[in-house]
């Protein structure tokens, strides 16, 4: 009997602070928001509302309050679609009043969301996640325990000026991964969409990470590293500052990357060398058989004969038929624009 009373009391407490049902009888109004582009989204939070915040929540989502009525109003067809905000925020989480949160967000125990953070819809913070700002984060991102995102640059040139981090949509940040903001205000660290950052992976200041990238356990990107789409950095691999990782490439475990990794290739070793064409990866991603044959021909011409001059080999490849294929064109352009040289 006592346990039932305690359960009812807890349920009533959470219904008061987190009404999941927009028609909850105890709520005096409904809270709606017309997407992140609505100027009302950026208005200052209501001070009276902040005083009623449950313990541990430092600020509320600045939202537009629409009084509820017994009869629903007919919405104009030209009006932007609206949705009801549902937030699940644990009482121990700490959220800056200068942070902006989207709809359907779940914030777990002991998370900290700092000033200047803009968090998109349907993001999930499991527990003990720290997100600092200025950081603009898209929708449907999933942060696992002890992920630290948006921290200050570790670059010794950093003088404390306001810098930023930009993250796209549908990324997964596993336990203890770290991502830092840029060193200067004009060079933010950028992460695209649909990426997977496994445990203890690190993205340093000013990195530019594309889409569909996998950074495996303890994979490390130094400052200013560029990672193109669909690249895989294997476990314990370390990438030197200012290097580039080409699209659809894969680096071996524990590899030491001190030069650019060419697109579509496999790089492995200490220091890393180009070991072959990433054939399995290209087949899995549906590359045309003719394009794969052209890339095989380009690999043999550029990387099998390591004693030959790379510039002359490039000139020879340009005059050959494989150079007409788009992947080979990208490979040639990647090598020609390299600042640190490419792994051979």
d(CA 19, CA 297) in angstroms, rounded, equals 62
Q: Clarify whether 206 is annotated catalytic.
A: yes
Sign of CA dihedral 339, 229, 257, 274: negative
Short-list 113, 120, 155, CA closest to 134: 113
- Residue 226 CB partners (closer than 8 Å, separation 6+): 207, 208, 243, 244, 245
Given 180, 202, 205, 230, which residue is catalytic? Answer: 205
Number of C-alpha atoms within 13 angstroms, CB side, residue 217? 2
For residue 262, count other CB atoms closer than 10 A to its CB.
Answer: 28
Given 169, 206, 260, 268, which residue is catalytic? Answer: 206
Given 120, 223, 235, 246, which residue is catalytic? Answer: 223
- Within the chain, where are the H helices? 2-17, 47-51, 279-284, 289-299, 310-318, 326-336
Q: Clarify whether 128 is annotated catalytic.
A: no
Q: Clarify whether 205 is annotated catalytic.
A: yes
The residues annotated with a catalytic role in the active site are 205-206, 223
């Amino acid at each position: 009997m006592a346990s039932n009373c305690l359960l009812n009391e807890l349920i009533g407490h959470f219904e008061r602070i987190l009404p999941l049902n927009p028609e909850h009888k105890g709520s005096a109004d409904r809270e709606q928001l017309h997407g992140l582009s609505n100027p009302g989204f950026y208005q200052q939070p209501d001070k009276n509302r902040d005083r009623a915040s449950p313990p541990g929540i430092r600020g509320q989502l600045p939202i537009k309050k629409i009084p509820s009525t017994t009869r629903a109003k007919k919405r104009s067809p030209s009006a932007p679609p609206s949705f009801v905000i549902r937030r699940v925020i644990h009482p121990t989480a700490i959220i800056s009043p200068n942070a902006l949160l989207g709809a359907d967000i779940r914030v777990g125990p002991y998370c900290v969301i700092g000033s200047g953070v803009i968090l998109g819809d349907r993001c999930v913070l499991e527990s003990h996640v720290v997100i600092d700002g200025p950081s603009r984060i898209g929708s449907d991102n999933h942060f696992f325990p002890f992920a630290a995102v948006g921290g200050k640059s570790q670059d010794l040139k950093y003088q404390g000026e306001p810098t930023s981090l930009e993250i796209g949509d549908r990324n997964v940040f596993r336990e203890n991964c770290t991502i830092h903001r840029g060193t200067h205000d004009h060079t933010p660290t950028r992460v695209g969409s649909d990426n997977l950052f496994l445990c203890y992976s690190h993205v340093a200041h000013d990195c530019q990470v594309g889409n569909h990238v996998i950074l495996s356990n303890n994979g490390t990107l130094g400052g200013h590293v560029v990672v193109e789409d669909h690249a895989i950095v294997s476990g314990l691999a370390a990438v030197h500052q200012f290097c580039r990782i080409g699209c659809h490439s894969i680096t071996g475990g524990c590899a030491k990357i001190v030069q650019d990794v060419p697109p579509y290739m496999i790089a492995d070793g200490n220091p890393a060398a180009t070991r072959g064409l990433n054939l399995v990866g290209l087949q899995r991603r549906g590359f045309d058989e003719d394009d794969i044959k052209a890339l095989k021909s380009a690999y043999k011409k550029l990387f099998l004969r390591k004693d030959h001059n790379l510039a002359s080999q490039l000139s020879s490849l340009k005059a050959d038929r494989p150079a007409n294929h788009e992947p080979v064109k990208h490979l040639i352009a990647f090598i020609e624009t390299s600042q640190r040289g490419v792994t051979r």
